[in-house]
Amino acid sequence: MNDLLYHYIDPAFNHLEVNSYKLLLWVGDKKFSLAVMHHNKLMVWRKPAPLAELTQAGEVQEVLNFKYHEVITGISSSYFTLVAQSVFNESQVKDIARYLDVAPTDTVYAQPLDAFNQVIFKAPETLIQAIKSFDVTQAVFGPSGWIQAVEANQPSADELYLNVNDDRIEIAHFDKGRLNLFNTFEFTHQDELAYYAVFVCQQLKLDLRTLTVKLSGDIAAGDERYQHLLQDIFGAVSLNTLAVATLPEHLPQHQLLALTALSLCASLADV
């Protein structure tokens, strides 16, 4: 395995034992990332890379083609809607999906987001083609694991959770331990990220001065531009150090949270 392609490879990784490993694959419109887990321990972490590499011959294909014990593929989509579990009816999926501007070549999914909500989302043909070597019918909504991980940590209503994925920001707020709001926004500059965070809080009538912002996702070590901007607006800002896997201390937990949390989504596609 080429070390230059990966942020981390555990010294104990053994390709002859991959039948006991789990592959976690996150895919977005432009990029993908992956992790290989042994039980709850991180064995491999792949650098974010262009989506096209998933279909190109090379080292990545070798790793993807191992016969893993389990593969969980998370799809990051900005075309989705949430429906409360208490009122969800599977017969409504086609009607609801029309609001997502579904094209004939798109794939539509309907599955639990967490214990209280269903999510209906679509994936374009280009993304489906990139992961076609896996069972695409078993793909899950990419942010589901991140949301479940935060919920399980009993989040406060005085906290706002932001997860950065390339040029997209995912924002979640929880009240009484349950998801109160989840949405995604495209952004090109940190000022836009701050704008959307404030916009969400205004919609929920939250007091910015009492809120703590928890940041995770694609934020490089030492990159504090988001913190510097947001700390002038909110009560406090910090990186989200919540861990759902056993990681080496030197790895940035906030970057791995959403990816490793896909392990919490194992049964979503089967429900």
Backbone φ, ψ for residue 256 (5° rounding): -95, -10
Q: What is the largest CA-CA distance in the chain?
A: 54
Structure confidence by residue, pLDDT tens digits, 96-136: 998 999 999 999 999 999 989 999 999 999 999 999 988 89
pTM for this predicted structure: 0.93
* pLDDT recorded at residue 62: 80
Question: If you count them, how many residues does the chain have?
Answer: 271
Q: Flag whether pLDDT at 270 surpasses 90.
A: no
* pLDDT recorded at residue 268: 55
* pLDDT recorded at residue 61: 79
Q: Contact 145/262 with Cβ under 8 angstroms?
A: yes
Structure confidence by residue, pLDDT tens digits, 35-72: 999 999 999 999 788 998 888 877 777 888 899 999 99
* pLDDT recorded at residue 178: 94
* pLDDT recorded at residue 166: 76
Domains and CATH numbers, the chain: 1-144 (3.30.420.250), 154-241 (3.30.420.260)
Which pLDDT band holds residue 146 (cuts at 50, 70, 90)? very high
Which pLDDT band holds residue 267 (cuts at 50, 70, 90)? low
Structure confidence by residue, pLDDT tens digits, 235-255: 999 999 999 999 999 999 999
Structure confidence by residue, pLDDT tens digits, 190-243: 999 999 999 999 999 999 999 999 999 999 888 899 999 999 999 999 999 999
* pLDDT recorded at residue 118: 96
Residue range 157-162: average pLDDT? 98
Structure confidence by residue, pLDDT tens digits, 169-195: 999 999 998 999 999 999 999 999 999
* Listed residue (158, 240, 156) closest to 206, CA to CA: 158
Q: Flag whether pLDDT at 269 surpasses 80.
A: no
* pLDDT recorded at residue 56: 82
